[in-house]
Amino acid sequence: MQHATFADLGVSEIVTTELARREIAQPFAVQAMVIPDVLAGHDVLAQSPTGSGKTLAFGIPLIERLHGTNVRPSALVLAPTRELASQIVDDLRDIAHARALSIAAVYGGAGIVKQARIAARAHILVATPGRLLDLIDRRDVSLDRVRLLVLDEADRMLDMGFKPVVDRIVKMCARERQTLLFSATLQGEVGRIAKAYTTDPRRHEHAHSQERNADVEHRFVTVSHEGKVARLVSELDESERGRTLVFVRTKRGADRLVKRLASNSVRAVAMHGDKSQGQRERALSNFEAGVVDTLVATDVAARGIDVAGITHVINYDMPATREDYVHRIGRTARAGASGVGVTLVTREQARELAGMVSSLGLHRELQLGGLPSDSTGGRGGGGDGSSQRAKRSGSRGGRSPSGAGGGGGGRSPSGPGGNGGAARPRRPRRASKNGGRAPDRSR
Residue 140 confidence (pLDDT)? 96
**pLDDT tens, 316-345?**
999 998 888 988 898 888 766 889 999 999
Distance CA 340, CA 246 (A): 12
| Rounded Cα distance, 151 and 52, in Å | 16
Q: Please answer whether residues 280 and 83 qualify as being in contact, where contact means their C-beta atoms are separated by less than 8 angstroms.
A: yes
Q: Residues 6 or more apart from 78 whose CB is under 8 A from it?
A: 127, 128, 129, 132, 149, 150, 151, 152, 157, 166, 169
pLDDT at residue 240, rounded to an integer: 85
Task: Name the amino acid, one letter, at 114.
Answer: K
Q: Which CATH architecture has domain 211-411?
A: 3-Layer(aba) Sandwich (3.40)
The strands making up 178-183's β-sheet, listed across from edge to edge, are 103-106, 124-127, 75-78, 148-151, 178-183, 44-47, 202-205
DSSP assignment of 155-221 equals HHHHHTT-HHHHHHHHHHS-SS-EEEEEES--SHHHHHHHHHH-SS-EEEE--HHHHT-SEEEEEEE
Full 3-state SS string of 214-275: CEEEEEEEECCHHHHHHHHHHHHCECCCCEEEEECCCHHHHHHHHHHHHCCCCCCEEECCCC
* Predicted local distance difference test score (pLDDT) of residue 436: 39
The SS3 of residue 299 is helix
Query: Which CATH entry fits the domain spanning 7-206: 1.10.40.30, 3.40.50.2000, 3.30.230.10, 3.40.50.300?
Result: 3.40.50.300
What are the b/e assignments for 352-366, b being 16+ CB within 10 Å? ebbebbbebbbbbbb
Q: Which residue stretches of the chain have pLDDT < 70?
A: 1-3, 50-51, 207-214, 277, 303-304, 335-336, 374-443
Give CA separation, 131 vs 30, 168, 280, in Å: 29, 13, 17
Contact 48, 28 (CB under 8 A): no
Amino acid at 201: P
Note whether 124 and 72 are within 8 A (CB): no
Strand partners, 183: 47
**What is the greatest pairwise CA distance in the chain?**
67
pLDDT at 220: 96
What is the DSSP code (8-state) at residue 372? B
Chain region(s) in the chain for CATH 3.40.50.300: 7-206, 211-411
**How far apart (Å, rounded) are the C-alpha atoms in residues 70 and 93?**
17
The pLDDT value recorded for residue 143 is: 97
Which residue type does 209 have? S
Query: Smallest Cα–Cα separation from 146: which of 186, 176, 108?
Result: 176
